[in-house]
Amino acid sequence: MEEYRIEHDSMGEVKVPADKLWGAQTERSHENFLIGVGIETMPREITRAFGYLKKAAALANNSLKPEKLTAEKLSAISTACDEVIGGRLDENFPLVVWQTGSGTQSNMNTNEVIANRANQIAGKKLCHPNDDINMSQSSNDTFPTAMHIAAVVEVEDKLFPAIDTLVDTFRRLEKENEGIVKSGRTHLQDAVPISFSQEISGWRTSLERDKEMISSTLPYLKQLALGGTAVGTGLNAPKGFDTLVAQKVSELTGRNFVTAPNKFHALTSKDEITFTHGALKALAADLMKIANDVRWLASGPRDGLGEIHIPENEPGSSIMPGKVNPTQCEAMTMVAVQVMGNDAAVGFAASQGNFELNVFMPVIAYNFLQSVRLLAEAMLSFNKNCAVGITANKEKMHHNLHNSLMLVTALNPYIGYENAAKTSHLAYEKNISLKEACVQLGFLTAERFDEVFHPEQMVGD
């Protein structure tokens, strides 16, 4: 039989599991929002961000109001917050994303857990969830602050290293494949030659540019709403709290966070996180393109392009023996689709700021952090299980290149565009080489054709 203890809030008494640190308000939310339980729990990145936030707030309050947030309280609260940041209290954060749109219940979940844990550490009833842990704060400014902290930390610590890893692999592949010339393709049709290293450099540069664009959005996310309290006026927060608490968050996280210059904007508008997620969508679009290129180039093994080999990781069919599929590419493209869907959700949610508050913040946080996690993990998986093992099928590339009718473009300076087009059409209609067609049409002699026709020189430097 499960044991309970009695907790109370302004609405009365509530039974709370005896082995958990949360209190009455958390329990009410836990019982009232049975939506996605165990699946769509508030992201742990938000939980950890709240740990940083509450510790920073305690440090600032101790500095500005030491008679209320005493050194004794600060010590116990700081230790409890460190445990939250370290993930040691995760089982005490059960609430789902689908709760109040301000994130009030997750803020109170944090307040209750830290207060109860601080009291355990102190060995007495020392801290109150609202009066101490939530001092100088409101859910309306803490949740957007936690959201920004989590977003910045995850992008910088998880997403950027994953991008760098895949970029490094592409840079190595560029060097290894220098000098290999293949057929270019536009509109899924044959085009003029390109070197394989040039093609790979396009993939690499796309990722590098995506990282630059995402990075350029982060200064906006590093502005914190904390200090605006309920509606942006800073009611019940001491003068200078907003600036000092941002400084403390910066010290704790090792990032340069600052207080938002306009708290009325910070509480109601979610444009910063929407802007950053738009850059995540750009990354997803490039990853979709790269993964599609890889699986097209690896298609076959006999009836496709077959210009590259990719690692064979698992059987591809339950009915066709020996079939191997580009599974890492497929996973990457599905992630890209999810991120694009998340971007729509983030955008719609951000548009719902009414008067002094946006009440769609949990779903914004959930989708944003899922996008970061999926993109980072998909890139690492794609890199480890596919990209690092990409090799060129030089023979197939050479065959496809020299079988391409678009090599006729090299003849434009010598016989003109219209005659080159006639040469191409004749070669296609009679299934003969460009050389044979050009000579038959009398545009060049066989000797002159050989002098001017050098596909490998058509790729530039």
CA dist 419 and 311 (Å) reads 44
Strand pairing category for 189-195 and 181-186: antiparallel
Could you count the other beta carbons within 10 Å of the beta carbon of residue 269?
18
Omega cis (within 30) before 193: no
Encoded tokens for 213: 């664009």
Which amino acid is present at 32? N
Is 425 part of the annotated catalytic residue set? Answer: no
Catalytic residue among 10, 63, 138, 187: 187
Give the DSSP letter of residue 89. T
Is 317 part of the annotated catalytic residue set? Answer: yes
Give the DSSP letter of residue 11. T
Catalytic residue among 317, 351, 425, 454: 317
Among 446, 438, 440, CA closest to 419: 438
Dump the DSSP string for 283-294: HHHHHHHHHHHH
CA dist 201 and 124 (Å) reads 63
Strand pairing category for 258-259 and 223-224: parallel
Positions marked active-site: 187, 317
